[in-house]
Every structure is written in structure tokens, then in C-alpha cells.
């Protein structure tokens, strides 16, 4: 049995017309002789609408109840797509995450998939059905409904591909593939024919939301190859492979940005063992991810500790740090919610030098001040003022020769470019 997973994002099922189009594509894959498992997001805008309703009731809704609300969007799209398939003579059945079940841990709002029971899916495939599964959701061992974090349908698709040992995992979306930068802010961004899972991991973790980070982690861990394709045009898209290609790599594969981070600095902490663990212990216990960390010991032997967190966890982090300040003897807490991170990614960095210098001089030439820097083997990230993010990304895209020569440059990006 050769199983193909086909995942359609919110825009790709955003209207009845698009659902019909997705159904056509699925039916074509089925008639090509594959067993097809479909994973869907909620119709475009539905998850945001549900969150908006919840926050009108309470600014910080109870995470369990928020998951109950948020998970309903996908239940609608799976039912509609199954109806379309059945109407067109292609037998289909829809399932929520809890019906499969897709079992997760208990962390509401960003649960991790622990296991998937494939019995029901395999039985239906055997009986000739297309199985349509709600992305983004699961159930705990205690029967509580969870969600996997924004963009989590990608993770559902990859987890299913691993569990069912699928031949292919296709992620249909509203762009033609993974590009050298977000085409919404860099009009000259080019499609990448192929990218390593390691690079994709760095791009996703740096803010390129074309694939959810956990989906890429899963793919990397289980060696699942993914293809990101357009649901609107017949293009080959991008292959994300766990194997590296033998071809010579460009210096930089892609540029990502993230405007959803915030920076916290604890100043004047007496330099003693255990300070970092006292600050980050409570943050880890609250399941808050810390991104960059910088620690500096000044001339007076006091430490400044600066770190970044996701903006949605900024206030919570500030409260936790404020609580610990008297215990560690910290003098001051400084924070900034208006920062952005720009990251250059590429396995080519391993064999090319001078990339950091080009990055810093390009930003300096645009008058952009760098607030923090962090590097890994295949990534360099900088924190800058949020208002410079588009200018910085575009300047770097040009400086590293990534622009498509056929696309004219644009001076300003569309208004909603940075809104998610």
C-alpha cells in the first residue's frame, strides 16, 4: 500500500470554490493509484475569529476552553471537503483528532503529539476511502482536547506521514514553495527547488511560517521528506529532504524574520553561580520558550542578563522575572516589546567565510542598529528595532545575491505584510 498525505492550509480551503478545487486534487491523487490521507486547516480566518471571540469574553481565556473553541474550525473544513469528495464519487470520511485518536501531552495551546493510532485509518484506506483528518488538534490520555500551536496542521500531517510510513507528504499552501524570503515583503524572492531539513528547521524557527517548526522537527527526526506546493498552480514546489545534496551550496539559502519576539534584560545582578538557573527555571516550568540569551559581566562584577521570548508570553515572563529579582539581588528590569529578529540561514555558511561581516556592514549601511547577535553553524540572527525589519531583510536579500533579476524592486511593502 502506497500512502500519500496531502495537507491543505487555511487559504487553500478558504472558500467553497477552493474546497472544491482541493477535492479535485485529492481525487486525482486517488485515481493515480495512491491511498490518500488528507489533513486540513480551518478555513482561512476561522481560527483567528474563534480566538477573537474567546478574548472578547476574557483577555486571557482558560487554555482548556480556548482549545475547545479553537479546535472547532478544522471540524468544519474536514466535513465540507469529505462532502465534496463524496459528491464527486470519491468515497471519503472525516475524523477529528480525538476520533483517530492523535494522542498528545497536556500542554494546552502547544501540545506535542505522543502517538497516533493508525488502525481506523488503515481500515478505511483498505475499504477504499480517502481519510480526511482535522489538523492542529489532539486528545490527551485523560480525554482532554488539545491544540498543537498556530500552524499546527503541518505537524499533524508530518506526524501522520511518520506513523503511516507514507511514501510522500505534500503540504499545499498559498505560495509556490519555500522561497529565499517571505514573498510578502521581498517581491524578488525566488523558489528553492530543494532545501535540507536542517536549513528548513532554522528558517522555521526564525519565523518563516511557511512550515510550523514542530512539523520540520518531526520530519527531521523521522526522516520524512516533505514537498511544499501551491494549491493554485501546477508547480513542482520545494523538496525538503533530510539528505544533503552533493551540489555546491550557495552562501545563504534563505532569510527569515520574526516580529513576534520581545526582549527582557535583568540588570545589575551580583555575579554568583546559579543566577541563570534561578531566572530561567520558573520560565521553563511555565513552558515558555526562551530564544536568544546574552549574559555580560561588567567591570563592577555585576551581570546583565538579556533574553528574548515570544510576544504572546512576554507579560507572563515579566511577572516571573519580577518575582525572582529580590532573590538574585537584581537592580533593574528593562524590557522592549518592539524588536524583530532577522536571520540568515544556509548550510553553505560552513564553507564560506565573511558572511557575518557582510551582514553587519549591510545593516550598518542602512543605519540599522544591531541589539543582539547569535550564531549557530548554519545561521546568524540579529535583533533590531521592529521598524527596520522590512528594510533589513530586503537589503540583505540583495547583498547576498538572492534577488530574482526579473522582478522589479519595490520601495514599500503592502500594509498588512507583517500581520499574521
Give the footprint of ligand ASP on this chain (CB under 6 A). Answer: 9-10, 41-42, 47, 73, 135-136, 150-154
Quote the least distance from Cβ 151 to Mg ion, whole Å.
4
- The interface with ligand ADP within residues 237-256 (CB under 6 A) comprises 254
CB-based contact 265:248 (threshold 8 Å):
no
**Residue 37, C-alpha cell as written in the block:** 490521507
Stretch that binds ligand ADP, among 176-184, 239-247, 260-268, 399-407 (CB under 6 A): 176-184
Number of residues that bind ligand ADP (CB under 6 A): 18
Q: Looking at residue 179, what DSSP letter applies?
A: B
Quote the least distance from Cβ 11 to ligand ADP, whole Å.
5
Nearer to Mg ion, 151 or 183 (CB): 151
CB-based contact 198:259 (threshold 8 Å):
no
The two counts, helices (H) then strands (E), for the chain are 12, 20
Q: Is residue 39 a contact point for ligand ADP (CB under 6 A)?
A: no
**Residue 109, C-alpha cell as written in the block:** 495551546
Closest CA to 211 of 155, 128, 293, 277: 155
Stretch that binds ligand ADP, among 10-18, 270-278, 332-340, 344-352 (CB under 6 A): 10-18
- In whole angstroms, give the CA distance from residue 129 to residue 147: 26
Which residues on adjacent β-strands are paired with residue 344?
Answer: 255, 380
Which option in Mg ion, ligand ASP, ligand ADP, none does residue 179 bind, with CB closer than 5 to 8 A by kind?
ligand ADP
Closest CA to 266 of 222, 210, 305, 303: 305
User: Following DSSP, what letter does each residue of 90-109 receive, concatenated?
Assistant: --EEEE-TTTTTEEE-S-TT
The two beta strands, 372-376 and 379-385, are antiparallel
Q: Is residue 208 a contact point for ligand ADP (CB under 6 A)?
A: yes
Quote the least distance from Cβ 124 to ligand ADP, whole Å.
25
User: Following DSSP, what letter does each residue of 328-396 receive, concatenated?
Assistant: HT--EEEEES-EEEEEEE-GGGGT---HHHHHHHHHHHTTPPP-EEEEETTEEEEEEEGGGHHHHHHHH
Quote the least distance from Cβ 391 to Mg ion, whole Å.
26
Among all residues, whose Cβ is closest to Mg ion?
151
- Integer CA distances (angstroms), 120 to 37, 126, 200, 238, 241, in order: 12, 10, 32, 31, 29
CB-based contact 185:207 (threshold 8 Å):
no
Q: Phi, psi (5° rounding) for residue 377? A: -60, -35
- Give me the helix-helix angle, 314-328 and 275-285, nearest 10°: 150
- In whole angstroms, give the CA distance from residue 44 to residue 51: 13
Q: Is residue 41 a contact point for ligand ADP (CB under 6 A)?
A: yes
Which option in ligand ASP, ligand ADP, Mg ion, none does residue 175 bind, with CB closer than 5 to 8 A by kind?
ligand ADP
Quote the least distance from Cβ 6 to ligand ADP, whole Å.
12
Which option in ligand ADP, ligand ASP, Mg ion, none does residue 47 bind, with CB closer than 5 to 8 A by kind?
ligand ASP
Instruction: State the number of CA atoms in the 13 A half-sphere of 238 facing the CB.
Output: 22
The phi-psi region of residue 165 (left if phi > 0; otherwise alpha if psi is between -120 and 50; otherwise beta) is left
Q: Is residue 178 a contact point for ligand ADP (CB under 6 A)?
A: yes
Nearer to Mg ion, 151 or 392 (CB): 151
Nearer to ligand ASP, 42 or 292 (CB): 42
Q: Is residue 151 a contact point for Mg ion (CB under 5 A)?
A: yes
Nearer to ligand ADP, 139 or 179 (CB): 179
Quote the least distance from Cβ 241 to ligand ASP, whole Å.
22
Stretch that binds ligand ADP, among 120-128, 202-210, 301-309, 325-333 (CB under 6 A): 202-210
Nearer to ligand ADP, 101 or 237 (CB): 237
Contact with ligand ADP (CB under 6 A) among 151, 152, 237, 392:
151
Quote the least distance from Cβ 400 to Mg ion, whole Å.
26
Contact with ligand ADP (CB under 6 A) among 6, 11, 70, 226:
11
Footprint on this chain of ligand ADP (rule: CB under 6 A): 9-12, 41, 151, 173-175, 178-179, 181-182, 184, 208-210, 254
Q: Name the site residues for Mg ion (rule: CB under 5 A).
A: 9, 151
Amino acid at each position: 500500500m502506497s500512502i500519500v498525505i496531502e495537507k491543505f492550509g487555511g487559504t487553500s480551503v478558504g472558500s467553497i470554490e477552493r474546497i472544491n478545487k482541493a477535492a479535485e486534487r485529492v481525487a486525482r491523487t486517488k485515481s493515480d493509484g495512491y491511498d490518500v490521507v488528507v489533513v486540513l486547516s480551518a478555513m482561512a480566518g476561522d481560527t483567528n475569529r474563534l480566538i477573537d471571540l474567546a478574548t472578547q469574553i476574557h483577555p486571557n481565556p482558560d487554555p482548556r476552553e480556548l482549545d475547545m473553541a479553537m479546535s472547532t474550525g478544522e471540524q468544519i473544513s474536514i466535513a465540507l471537503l469529505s462532502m465534496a469528495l463524496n459528491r464527486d464519487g470519491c468515497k471519503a470520511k472525516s475524523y477529528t483528532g480525538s476520533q483517530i485518536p492523535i494522542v498528545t501531552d497536556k500542554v494546552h495551546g502547544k501540545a506535542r503529539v505522543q502517538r497516533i493510532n493508525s488502525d481506523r485509518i488503515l481500515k478505511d484506506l483498505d475499504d477504499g476511502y480517502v481519510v480526511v483528518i482535522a489538523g492542529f488538534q489532539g486528545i490527551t490520555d485523560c480525554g482532554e482536547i488539545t491544540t498543537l500551536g498556530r500552524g499546527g496542521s503541518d505537524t499533524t500531517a508530518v506526524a501522520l506521514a511518520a506513523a503511516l510510513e507514507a511514501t510522500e507528504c505534500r503540504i499545499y499552501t498559498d505560495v509556490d514553495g519555500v522561497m529565499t524570503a517571505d514573498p510578502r515583503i521581498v517581491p524578488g524572492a525566488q523558489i528553492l527547488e530543494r532545501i535540507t531539513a536542517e536549513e528548513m528547521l532554522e528558517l522555521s524557527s526564525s519565523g518563516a511560517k511557511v512550515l510550523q517548526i514542530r512539523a520540520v522537527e518531526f520530519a527531521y527526526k523521522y526522516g520524512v521528506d516533505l514537498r511544499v506546493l501551491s494549491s493554485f498552480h501546477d508547480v513542482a514546489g520545494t523538496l525538503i529532504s533530510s539528505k544533503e545534496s552533493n551540489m555546491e551550496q550557495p552562501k545563504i539559502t534563505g532569510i527569515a524574520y520574526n516580529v513576534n519576539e520581545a526582549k527582557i534584560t535583568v540588570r545589575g545582578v551580583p555575579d554568583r553561580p546559579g543566577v541563570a538557573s534561578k531566572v530561567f527555571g520558573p520560565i521553563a516550568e511555565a513552558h515558555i520558550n526562551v530564544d536568544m540569551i546574552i549574559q555580560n559581566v561588567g567591570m563592577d562584577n555585576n551581570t546583565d542578563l538579556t533574553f528574548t521570548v515570544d510576544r504572546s508570553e512576554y507579560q507572563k515572563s515579566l511577572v516571573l522575572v519580577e518575582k525572582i529579582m529580590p532573590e538574585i539581588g537584581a537592580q533593574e528590569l528593562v524590557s522592549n516589546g518592539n524588536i524583530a529578529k532577522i536571520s540568515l540561514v544556509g548550510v553553505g555558511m560552513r564553507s564560506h567565510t565573511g558572511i557575518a561581516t557582510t551582514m553587519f556592514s549591510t545593516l550598518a549601511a542602512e543605519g540599522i542598529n544591531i541589539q543582539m547577535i547569535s550564531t549557530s553553524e548554519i545561521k546568524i540572527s540579529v535583533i533590531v528595532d521592529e521598524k527596520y525589519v522590512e528594510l533589513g531583510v530586503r537589503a540583505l536579500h540583495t547583498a547576498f545575491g538572492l534577488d530574482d533579476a526579473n522582478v522589479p524592486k519595490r520601495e514599500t511593502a503592502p500594509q498588512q505584510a507583517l500581520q499574521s
